[in-house]
Amino acid sequence: MKIKTESNIFIGQYPRHYELKSEIALKLEEYDDVQNRQSNVIATVTEWNISSFEISNLKDYIIDILNLQYPFVKQKNRKFYFPEFWGNIYRKGDYTIKHDHLFSCFSIVYFLKSKPNYSPLIFSQSRTKIKPTEGRLIIFPSYIQHEVPVHTSNDTRITLSGNIEIIKL
């Protein structure tokens, strides 16, 4: 599990990318915009709690990373969990408005379908730009504002996103 840390932003490659993409990418391509462009993501957005076998594997992987980085959470009889986990399907002209997820501990972005020249994930204050490489996983404190510029490709850019909280056992 390789993790690169930049200003509390964890960047890694998910080892089961091919399995995850094979399981859900085509389904997401055909998704209707369930949120009706009423969120900060001005694109097609799924329900707030999508799930599948491979999504469960990804979530477990993310929680394993957090447990390694923050072992005191388990020691204090608490655990990380996902109250929300959703998909974002960007088509030409779609984007995400600058925002944060202030009421969560951590947030994630996972690049399911993309090319490195597509719109990056930008952390607003530091102007850090993360290239959207397939299989790349970003975990960051939820208070960090982030945005995605207008997607200019005719092909879709698909990400998975989620919020992580801590609960007492």
The domains of the chain are located at 9-168
Tokens 């972005």 belong to 109
For domain 9-168, the CATH architecture is: Sandwich (2.60)
pLDDT of 1 over the 60 cut: no
Provide the whole-model pTM. 0.94
Q: Are 140 and 106 in contact (CB under 8 A)?
A: yes
Backbone angles phi, psi at 19, to 5 degrees: -65, -45
Say how far apart CA 17 and CA 135 lie, in whole Å. 5
Which pLDDT band holds residue 3 (cuts at 50, 70, 90)? Answer: very low
Residue 121 clears pLDDT 60, i.e. is over it: yes
Q: What is the share, in percent, of the chain residues with pLDDT greater than 90?
A: 88
Percentages helix, strand, coil for the chain (3-state, rounded to 5) are 20, 40, 40
Q: Which residue has the tokens 């399907």?
A: 89
User: Looking at residue 2, what is its pLDDT?
Assistant: 45
Q: Percent of the chain, pLDDT > 70?
A: 96
